[in-house]
A and B are shown apart, each in its own frame.
Chain A
Amino acid sequence: MNDSTEEQIRFELESILERRNADTRLTTMGAGSDNVEDGRQYLAKTVTGGWHVPTWPPEFGGRGASPSQNALIGRLLREFVVPDLYPFAIGLGMVGPALLAHGTQGQQQDWLQPIASGSSIWCQMFSEPEAGSDLANVALKATQDGEEWVLSGQKTWTSRAMWADWAICLARTDPGQPKHKGLTMFALPIDIPGVEVRPLTQMNRDAHFSEVFVEEARVLDLWRIGEIGEGWRVAMTVLAHERAGGGSRGGGDGNARGVRIPGWISDLQALGVAENQLWRDEVSNIYSHDRVSRWTSQRAADEARVSGVPGPAGSGAKLRTVKSYKDRAYLSNRSAASYGMLTEGAGYIETMTAPSMSIRGGTDEIQRNILGERVLGLPGEPRLDRDVPWSDSRRGLL
């Protein structure tokens, strides 16, 4: 597709979307928002032009856009009301790119367009009670039975499971292999017999994370993503896209056109914070960091798209994005003085959510390990269980 000019893009977006104004408030990703419908309508409207996932091929709901065209569209979209796309973020930002990299033609044909149009929601069944930071310790087992696989085990911290139509599920197919090697990735319809979703309530009162119990659930071999035993590689693609924040466009509080001040700063001004020089310094520091963090995320996402293999830049992007979120939450909560301690006060949801930002999608420690090992070439953490059969390390034979 030929590149469009800024005016052409804006003209087309104006015909389907509503312009944002300075007062538009957006919800926080994964905290408090239960609104699935707004996001669904937005995606249904934008899919025809391929506006939300411009780099995807046109037949899958994108417009085959170049990285520069994609960046331009992203910037222009900020001038319009884009709802919180939290429910759709796994499909759009993580599963979609992973399918483009590892999926079969049939899988891309069947699954990508519904993701782009908002008609199907995906969740990510990766973590387990004993496999958090140590994700490769996944124990949910999958056994082949002709053209089908039989899955049994338990997942946890599965965000969006209660809305999901499909899950991308990491399973152990060969316990005799070392832990990273015996894994395989599957797509799993969430409503088939043997799959049970139980929401977990978080301290921010959010119940968007669930435990998922799987008992002899049968999936088709056609739904296997990537080769048998290549599950870790697929999982790394998914996670790298999560860190890079690719496709999670929507929400946030970027500048609307002609509005130079982000919403969180206007809120602080309303609280009288601008009167004080120390506060102004802090606001400016956070603002600068926030801008750099957005550029880092953008760069990581672009690199990932160009190379098809997301690199460690995403880890740097995630660390920065998280710090920026936490600093803003802490500042806005402190600036509301004692009123800020009420559940109605400024920054309540953000304060309650902030600690999880350094944990979800890979802890800060894991991200720094990745940077240390892959960027700086530092010696890795000792890994006692790297080359032994998973079934042995599981039994505590190390």
Chain B
Amino acid sequence: MSETPGVDSLVTETADRLFTQICDHEAVQNAETSGDAPEIWSAFADTGFPWISIAEDQGGSGGSLLDALEVLRLVGYHAAPIPAAETGILGGWLFASSGHEIPEGPITVLPDGGANVTGSVTGDEITLSGTCIRVPWARIADRIAVLLEIDSQSIVASVDPKDCLIQPMTNMAGEPRDTVCFDEVKAAVAPAVPGVDLESFRFRGALSRVALMAGAIEKMSQLTVSYTNDRVQFGRPVARFQAVQQHLVWGAQEAALARMAAETAAREANRGSAFFEIAAAKLIANQAAAKATKACHQAHGAMGMTQEYPLHHYSRRLWAWRKEYGSDAEWSSWLGKVAVSQGAQGLYPLITGGSLNLD
């Protein structure tokens, strides 16, 4: 795996080694059956990986957002069935930016800003009501970070999941995406620092999925090259057939494209505003996921459809992740509107200069 500029290579090498050791095909398959992977989580948490990019004086592990995203890319690359994004750059970020204590265990967040959840604040306490679906790993979380905007003020509540009714559900990849019901749940609440709001949360969510997806597509492409070189039909490895080679090239180029988009978005986000790059990167990753899963499955033939061969760990995750924090249609519309609003004169500067050219 090539190095990403600006990233602490010690962090990524350690994470890669850790996942290679503990997160094999069987472990991922078992997590899908049981809905949890406590061994993988504790090994990951023992090294402090979940809290990279959160300052040490706020209870985090230090390091940059770039480092955290690179670790997420490896989570995707190994299909690690753990709430890494939710605990770190999403939930951890919300808690750190509102002065809440970071718990020792996993954190989860409400996707789409918990559209159906409302709250009423009294002092430093909030009462929450409503139901939110597709909450990642709510069943094993220590805390739920709930971001709300009340009277134009962004506030973050730290909710104990034990106070909620949690109904286990799963996404296409068999990862927990639970339904969480808040029935007048009381929780501590605090205002978020400026710049932390529903909009920036949504972009950050998309950024997390882009990193995961770039890793999964890369792994899928590598698996495919390796399998087609081993699989012999008509007296030769199927990778020697031009028709199969085309699939390999599709897989590889989509992997390269998604990774490039992920790195560009990560670099800009690390520097400051990156709405344009993140929107573009999520759209690219979504489309790359569709093309690459198609090519890689086709090149694998029937073997890729079975549970006993690992391809499905990646393809199913990609199908699920491409729908989280913005589908193709949502980000296409967003990008289209932004491009149109720049006018003809502003289009090229937008493409070359990105978010720096947006107000």
With a cutoff of 8 Å between Cβ atoms, the chain A residues found around residue B327 in the complex are 334, 337-338
- Neighbouring A residues of B305 by C-beta, 8 Å: 202-204, 355-356, 359
B235 in complex: contacting residue of A337, A342, A393, CB < 8 Å: A393
Contact B169 A338 (CB under 8 A): no
Contact of A338 among B111, B302, B306 (CB under 8 A): B111
- B233, B244, B302: which contacts A356 (Cβ < 8 A)? B302
A365: interface (CB < 8 Å)? yes
Bound Cα distance A358, B294 (Å): 10
A398 within 8 A of B: yes
Contact B307 A201, beta carbon cutoff 8 Å:
yes
Interface membership of B316, Cβ < 8 A: yes
- Report if B277 contacts A (CB, 8 A): no
**Cβ–Cβ < 8 Å partners of B307 in chain A:** 200-203
A359 touches B301 (CB 8 A): yes
Tell which of B177, B241, B328 touches A341, judged by Cβ atoms closer than 8 Å: B177
List B residues 219-262 near A (Cβ within 8 Å). Answer: 232-236, 238, 241, 243-244
Q: Mark A339-375, 1 if CB is under 8 A from B, else 0.
A: 1111111001001100110111001110010000000
A276 to B232, CA, bound (A): 47
Asked if B338 CB lies within 8 Å of chain A CBs, one says: no
B293 touches A133 (CB 8 A): no
Contact A337 B315 (CB under 8 A): no
Q: How far is the CB of A177 from chain B (nearest CB, A)?
A: 16
Q: Does B312 contact A (CB under 8 A)?
A: yes
Q: Is B319 an interface residue (CB 8 A)?
A: yes
Q: Which residues of B contact A200 (CB under 8 A)?
A: 306-308
Say which size band chain A's interface belongs to.
Answer: 35 or more
* Cβ B169 vs Cβ A203 within 8 A: no
Assess whether B58 is interfacial by the CB under 8 Å rule.
no
Given B112, B170, B293, which contacts A355 in the complex, CB threshold below 8 Å?
Answer: B293
A338 contacts B304, C-beta separation under 8 Å? no
The reply on A130 being an interface residue by CB < 8 A is: yes
Give the complex CA separation of A341 and B244 in angstroms. Answer: 29
- The interface centre, meaning the residue of A203, A355, A358 with most chain B CB atoms within 10 A of its CB, is A203
Cα distance, A250 to B177, chains bound together (Å): 35
Asked whether any CB of chain B lies closer than 8 Å to the CB of A333, the reply is yes
Q: Are B302 and A157 in contact (CB under 8 A)?
A: yes
- B171: Cβ under 8 A from any A Cβ: yes
Which chain B residue has the least Cβ–Cβ distance from A133?
A: B233
Chain B residue numbers with a CB within 8 Å of A348 are 172
Q: Is the CB of B234 within 8 A of A343?
A: no
Cα distance A334–B233 in the bound complex, in angstroms: 35
B301 partner, pick from A133, A203, A204, beta carbons under 8 A: A133
Q: Which residue of A lies closest to B307 (CB)?
A: A201
Annotate A122-138 by CB proximity to B: 1 below 8 A, 0 otherwise.
00000100101110010
Q: Is B73 positioned at the interface, with any CB of A under 8 Å from its CB?
A: no
Complex CA distance for A134 and B316, rounded to whole angstroms? 28
User: Is B204 at the interface (CB under 8 A from chain A)?
Assistant: no
What's the Cα separation between A358 and B297 when bound, in Å?
9
* Residues 163-182 (chain B) with a chain A CB within 8 angstroms: 169-172, 174, 177
8 Å CB contacts to B: which residues of A180-221? 200-204
The reply to whether the CB of A381 lies closer than 8 angstroms to some CB of chain B is: yes
> B235 to A351, Cβ gap below 8 A?
no
Which chain A residue has the least Cβ–Cβ distance from B234? A134
Q: Shortest Cβ distance from B131 into chain A, in angstroms?
A: 13
The distance from the CB of A362 to the nearest CB of chain B, in whole angstroms, is: 11
Which residue in chain B gives the minimum CB-CB distance to A348? B172
Evaluate contact between B233 and A137: CB separation under 8 angstroms. Answer: yes
A305 to B: closest C-beta gap in Å: 29
Q: Are A363 and B316 in contact, CB atoms less than 8 angstroms apart? A: no
> Does A260 interact with chain B (Cβ within 8 Å)?
no
| Also in contact, A355 and B298, with CB within 8 A (given A132-B233, A202-B307, A385-B234) | yes
Tell me whether A330 is interfacial, beta carbon within 8 Å: yes
Asked if A385 meets B293 with Cβ closer than 8 Å, knowing A342-B169, A352-B172, A355-B304, the reply is: no
CB <8 Å contact, A341 and B134:
yes
A134–B321 CA distance with the chains assembled, in angstroms: 35
B170 to A398, Cβ gap below 8 A? Answer: no
CB distance from A391 to the nearest CB of B (A): 14
Indicate if B329 sits at the interface (CB-CB under 8 A).
Answer: yes
Cβ of A358 and Cβ of B234 under 8 Å apart? no
Q: How far is the CB of A27 from chain B (nearest CB, A)?
A: 19
Given A201-B307, A365-B243, A339-B133 contact (CB < 8 Å): yes
A393: chain B residues at CB < 8 Å are 235
Nearest chain B CB to A359 CB, angstrom units: 5
| 6 sampled A-B residue pairs with Cβ under 8 A | A341-B171, A341-B321, A355-B294, A359-B297, A359-B301, A393-B235
Other A-B contacts than A338-B323, A341-B171, 14 sampled, CB-CB below 8 A, are A130-B232, A132-B301, A200-B308, A202-B305, A203-B306, A203-B312, A203-B315, A203-B316, A204-B305, A342-B134, A352-B172, A356-B305, A359-B301, A365-B241
Q: Mark B residues whose CB is within 8 Å of A.
A: 111-112, 133-134, 169-172, 174, 177, 232-236, 238, 241, 243-244, 290, 293-294, 297-298, 301-302, 304-308, 312, 315-316, 319-321, 323-324, 327-330
* 9 closest residue pairs by CB, A with B: A355-B297, A203-B312, A134-B233, A341-B323, A341-B320, A365-B243, A201-B307, A134-B234, A341-B171
